[in-house]
Amino acid sequence: MTDNYKQLVERISQSTKLSVEDIERRIEAKRAKLSGLISLEGAAHVIAAELGIGLEKQNYKISELNLGMRKVIVLGKIIQIYPVKTYKKNGREGEIGSFMIADETGNIRVVLWDTNHIKKIKDNELKEGEVVEIMNADVRGTMNKEIHLNSFSKLEKSSVQIENVIINKPQRNEQISKISELKPDSFSNLRGTIVQVFQPAFFNVCPNCNMKVSFENEKAICPRHELVTPKERAILNMVVDDGTETIRTIAFTDQINELYGMIEDVELLKDPSFNTSKRAEVLGKEFVFSGKTRHNALFDRTEFIINRVREANPEEVIAELSKTVKISSTN
Ligand SMILES: [Zn+2]
């Protein structure tokens, strides 16, 4: 039994006031239930989560929030409340509420799915200028990050004061940019043809926060969550050409799935014949890529990290072309 494990048990015991023996019993039971497929440490993390205890930092500034983070705690000042909207999905109607919060580091949209949370907007219980604490929420989104609350999340007013919040709203950029005009560290949409696809590479991340794990004695360590059972992710490099220039474009598992029209199966990407056939499908095809430009210092080149990818539809291309024609004819 490792020291790490003992520490974990003690921390759970301290936070829950349950005895060490009781917690160890729960961990053993959990492990037995999972047929010993997880380590004692892994089982301890599961028990901690079930008991609602965070074993790591979960309090974040808005700028620290990253896509894929779960169960985060955020404090923010409400800077704008949007009207509650209704939506229809699979014949069912639902409501969705949202507002923007800000702190000293940035601002982010908060999305509410739970009727109890939405009621707070409808009843004018929440007001612009007030500070709220959000707990147990997930960070999602495509072009912009968003905080999503489910029925297990908490949304409460806070007496904490936040001064000097950043209130300029993130610009939703729906326009298509030219590769030759891309600026580093900015979100944009590209429309271009895939002209080269490299072999996918694989790496391991933390299942909780998607950060890359390091290995010590064959155990996976997350910088935030300590010992974890890692998840394997794929990365795919491509070259995209839009007629102005080419750019090295990077897709991770979710984006590869969008591109290849598959559900998550990293193993499948290791199959050479599968790769060859998928590569042949996308090569020479035009797509719209949404994502962020970053400078790769190692290779001294600009790369485009894809957040979303979809096939360019012909009407869009025609609309864009006619726009160009219009502009040139007025000149
Ligand atoms: Zn982690």
The mean per-residue pLDDT over the stretch 273-292 comes to 90
pLDDT-derived band at 108, boundaries 50, 70, 90: very high
Instruction: Calculate the CA dihedral of residues 140, 144, 149, 154 and round it to 10 degrees.
Output: 120
Which 3 state secondary structure label does DSSP give 159? coil
Q: Tell me whether residue 54 is in a domain.
A: no
Q: Tell me whether residue 146 is in a domain.
A: yes
Whether residues 38 and 102 share a domain: the answer is: no
Nearest-CA neighbor of 235 among 220, 218, 214, 249?
249
- 268, HSE (Cβ side, Cα atoms, 13 Å): 12
Domain carrying residue 44:
3-49
Instruction: Name the phi and psi angles at 298, rounded to 5.
Output: -60, -45
Q: Is the dihedral of CA 248, 254, 255, 260 positive or negative?
A: positive
Whether residues 197 and 313 share a domain: the answer is: yes
Confidence check: pLDDT of 175 > 80: no
Q: Tell me the per-residue pLDDT of 85-99, one tens digit each, with 9 for 90 and over.
A: 888 777 788 899 999
Residue 327 Cα to ligand 1 middle (Å) = 50
Residue 45 Cα to ligand 1 middle (Å) = 12
Residue 205 Cα to ligand 1 middle (Å) = 8
Whether residues 34 and 74 share a domain: the answer is: no
Residue 308 Cα to ligand 1 middle (Å) = 23
Residue 138 Cα to ligand 1 middle (Å) = 14
Cα gap 17→36, rounded to integer Å: 26
Q: Tell me the per-residue pLDDT of 144-164, one tens digit each, with 9 for 90 and over.
A: 788 999 998 999 999 888 888
pLDDT-derived band at 126, boundaries 50, 70, 90: very high
Confidence check: pLDDT of 282 > 50: yes
Instruction: Tell me the residue length of the chain.
Output: 331
User: What total of structural domains would you count in the chain?
Assistant: 3
Residue 252 Cα to ligand 1 middle (Å) = 17
Q: What pLDDT was estimated at residue 319?
A: 59
Confidence check: pLDDT of 166 > 90: no
Residue 209 Cα to ligand 1 middle (Å) = 4
- CATH number reported for the structural domain that contains residue 306 in this entry: 2.40.50.140
Confidence check: pLDDT of 240 > 50: yes
